[in-house]
Structure 1
Amino acid sequence: MSNRLKTGLILLTIAFLLGCILVQMFTQTLKSEITTLPDGYHNVLIRVPTTFEFCGEQVPLYDEEVKESFDKELYINVFRHSSTSLIIKRSEKFFPIIEQILREEEVPEDMKYIAVIESGLENVRSFAGADGYWQFMEETAKEFDLEISKEVDERFHIEKSTRAACKYLKRSYKKFGNWTLVAASYNRGMGGMNAALRNQNAISYYDVALNNETARYIYRALAFKEIMQHPEKYGFVIPKELRYPPVKYRKIPLDTTINDISALAVKYGMSYKTLKYHNPWLLMNKLTFDKKDLKNKKEYILLVPQNPPMPHSNVLAQESLQMQKMLDSILHEEDTVIDIQDVK
């Protein structure tokens, strides 16, 4: 074998070995990138519970369609991470209020998840005209004794809107005798839900073909119940101190016309914006009582936080005052005063 041939074979062998090494290094790097997760990321394994209840009623998870629908909503809301995290944070503030009212009204506690899927526990407005924590339409809200006017909208009042929701749910329960159907009727309406059952010869939510929104409605409630009862299981590790805490209030009765609510806010040591944040049912900077209201001894309750934050305007005013004092002090110092004669 000639020297040139030997040299060629050696070079080919070296190139082959180098190629193998490079391929192995690339494969290891790629594998590492795929399996190494950033800090704080939770690789969540989602598995539908073997048994589950809603309002004390068994969910028929032996039905594969039911199981898949539950699984779908779990996946959607677990991996909608920022939105679900914020709902968990808000629940620390609002669930105690909602749960107490549900107990007082003898409505199952699981109905709090209806408020979760309706509004995310926020005072939101929908394009359809439904407003507040429980997303009441104006006509329905008035039917269940919520006041709506130019100055007041009690759909944005957490306590009063929850009471109104309880009235609806109890009336629906008298009709259906089943809390799962009651919850579904909150979305579809009592008449719509009743028609669907009658037309399909069914008595269970899980047996009725419905429009897409109502067909998903209960499964969304189930998913949030499972996630919010076991947040760490699904990667939501949110310490108590990072959640939004309940607020301690003084309750101030209002029984006469107030022409400037912002002045009232100043009286209680807060900004108008802060007062509105804690009393979102107030729509304007005034509250009017007519003769009929006064005769009937009508009254509103204003929630005033026990420790409201100092208005930033006050901070700026104090800073401006200090700045003015400093400037005045500088200008009146003898060694800073320049005599015009000296300049000449």
Structure 2
Amino acid sequence: MSDSKFALYISIASLVTFLIVAFYGNYNQRENEIHKPVMEPTKPIAFKNAKTIPLPEKIDLAGEAVPLHIDDVKERLDKELHINSYWHNNTIFLFKRANRWFPVIEPILKKNGVPDDFKYLALIESGLENVTSYAGAVGFWQILKSTGKEYGLEINRDVDERYHPVKSTEAACKYLKRAYQKFGNWTLVAASYNRGMRGMQNALDNQKVDNYYDLMLNDETSRYVFRILAIKQIFESPEDYGLDISKEHLYEPYVYRTDTVRNSTDWVDYAKAQNTSYKTLRIYNPWIQDDDIRIGRNEYYVVSLPLRD
């Protein structure tokens, strides 16, 4: 037999073998599919309690009435109320953290003559968590490094007072009061916290209007005040928005003592000497940025510590 004929026979035999294997493989697969148990089709989840939410007849920000007779104003508030009412996991945790931190923030606002409603600004900015934005703003009040230094916060390798719940609130009050001196209107002050004082003034000048609700703004600033309003409304009447907030589930304010540190310190050793852990020290003092601190002459830091048993 010539080599060419032998090669031809081999090729034909390989092809026949392939076809037989393919046929029986497909046959077995079809048999398995025929005898596979029939699965019930997945039913869509029915949100039986989902319903539209009525708007309040009136609402204000820091005593300044919201013009709900303007259609787009009413619809923007409507949107934010629905988002935050049905975003249950997020909104519930806002209540939990607010119970811990509002008692710290509220007296500072009052002392500085800033309306109490601005505590909700901090709430929508950060959820009262020490988060960092894509732009580098940090802490409860989402303060940029340059802004923090401008308003007296210490920011360096060892310390970042933008994370200090008291000092950052004081710095935010300085900004808010300065903005009020410029605009004479708390709603514009709130919007400027998002867009900046210069940005808000440019928008007012370019569009020849004198209030927030008549401005055409980018989506973020356009929603900003309404997010504050929605959270305020939900906090004041949680049951009206489908939230059953049990007081015993809220986070309690920290109960602490203070200590003054005047010398350069290894925080790990310091915490151990105070009968606590470095982790707990950092939780109570989020402004601490490293595991040691260098303290110059005439400098000192007041540290919060859990009460001893």
**Class of the TM-score when normalised by the shorter of the 2 chains:** 0.7 to 0.9
User: 2:105 matched to 1:105?
Assistant: no
2:29 is aligned to none
* SS in structure 1 of the partner of residue 293 of structure 2: coil
Cα offsets for 1:37-96 (capped at 9, x unmatched) = 5xxxx5554111010110010000111110000000011111111011111100000001
Cα separation, partners in 2 of 1:44 and 1:303, compared to 1, 3 Å? farther
Asked if structure 2 preserves the Cα contact closer than 8 Å seen for 1:44 and 1:234, the reply is no
2:63 is aligned to 56
User: 2:273 matched to 1:305?
Assistant: no
User: 2:47 matched to 1:46?
Assistant: no
Cα offsets for 1:113-133 (capped at 9, x unmatched) = 110111011100111111111
Q: For 1:205 and 1:169, locate their aligned partners in 2 and report how far apart those are by CA, in whole Å.
A: 16
Cα separation, partners in 2 of 1:272 and 1:206, compared to 1, 3 Å? same
1:285 is aligned to 291
Q: For 1:171 and 1:256, locate their aligned partners in 2 and report how far apart those are by CA, in whole Å.
A: 36
User: 2:236 matched to 1:235?
Assistant: no
Q: 1:271 aligns with which of 277, 292, 303?
A: 277
* SS in structure 2 of the partner of residue 86 of structure 1: helix
Deviation of 1:170 after TM superposition, in Å, equals 0.3
* SS in structure 2 of the partner of residue 304 of structure 1: strand
Residue 138 of structure 1 aligns with an amino acid whose one-letter code is: K
Give me the identity figure in percent: 48
Asked if structure 2 preserves the Cα contact closer than 8 Å seen for 1:43 and 1:235, the reply is no
Residue 302 of structure 1 aligns with an amino acid whose one-letter code is: V
Q: 1:120 aligns with which of 127, 132, 136?
A: 127
Q: For 1:165 and 1:255, locate their aligned partners in 2 and report how far apart those are by CA, in whole Å.
A: 27
Deviation of 1:271 after TM superposition, in Å, equals 1.0
* SS in structure 2 of the partner of residue 115 of structure 1: helix
Q: For 2:106 and 2:99, locate their aligned partners in 1 and report how far apart those are by CA, in whole Å.
A: 11
Gaps of 5+ in 1: 1-29, 309-344
Q: For 1:249 and 1:204, locate their aligned partners in 2 and report how far apart those are by CA, in whole Å.
A: 44
Residue 272 of structure 2 aligns with an amino acid whose one-letter code is: V
1:312 is aligned to none
Q: For 1:143 and 1:246, locate their aligned partners in 2 and report how far apart those are by CA, in whole Å.
A: 30
What is the aligned residue count?
266
Q: For 2:224 and 2:73, locate their aligned partners in 1 and report how far apart those are by CA, in whole Å.
A: 12
User: 2:207 matched to 1:206?
Assistant: no
Q: 1:251 aligns with which of 234, 248, 258?
A: 258
* SS in structure 2 of the partner of residue 134 of structure 1: coil
Deviation of 1:299 after TM superposition, in Å, equals 2.2
Asked if structure 2 preserves the Cα contact closer than 8 Å seen for 1:129 and 1:137, the reply is yes
Deviation of 1:204 after TM superposition, in Å, equals 0.5
Deviation of 1:34 after TM superposition, in Å, equals 5.4
Residue 303 of structure 2 aligns with an amino acid whose one-letter code is: L
Q: For 2:236 and 2:300, locate their aligned partners in 1 and report how far apart those are by CA, in whole Å.
A: 38
Deviation of 1:178 after TM superposition, in Å, equals 0.2
Residue 153 of structure 2 aligns with an amino acid whose one-letter code is: L
* SS in structure 2 of the partner of residue 136 of structure 1: coil
* SS in structure 2 of the partner of residue 125 of structure 1: coil
Q: For 2:308 and 2:246, locate their aligned partners in 1 and report how far apart those are by CA, in whole Å.
A: 23
* SS in structure 2 of the partner of residue 202 of structure 1: coil
Q: 1:261 aligns with which of 253, 257, 267?
A: 267
Q: For 1:249 and 1:152, locate their aligned partners in 2 and report how far apart those are by CA, in whole Å.
A: 20
Q: For 1:233 and 1:266, locate their aligned partners in 2 and report how far apart those are by CA, in whole Å.
A: 48
For normalisation by structure 2, the TM-score amounts to 0.83
For the aligned residue pairs, the C-alpha RMSD in angstroms reads: 1.6
Residue 290 of structure 2 aligns with an amino acid whose one-letter code is: M
2:4 is aligned to none
Structure 1 residue ranges, 4+ long, deviating more than 6 angstroms after superposition = none
* SS in structure 2 of the partner of residue 148 of structure 1: coil
2:223 is aligned to 216
Gaps of 5+ in 2: 1-42
Q: For 1:300 and 1:270, locate their aligned partners in 2 and report how far apart those are by CA, in whole Å.
A: 18
For normalisation by structure 1, the TM-score amounts to 0.75
Deviation of 1:298 after TM superposition, in Å, equals 2.4
* SS in structure 2 of the partner of residue 92 of structure 1: helix
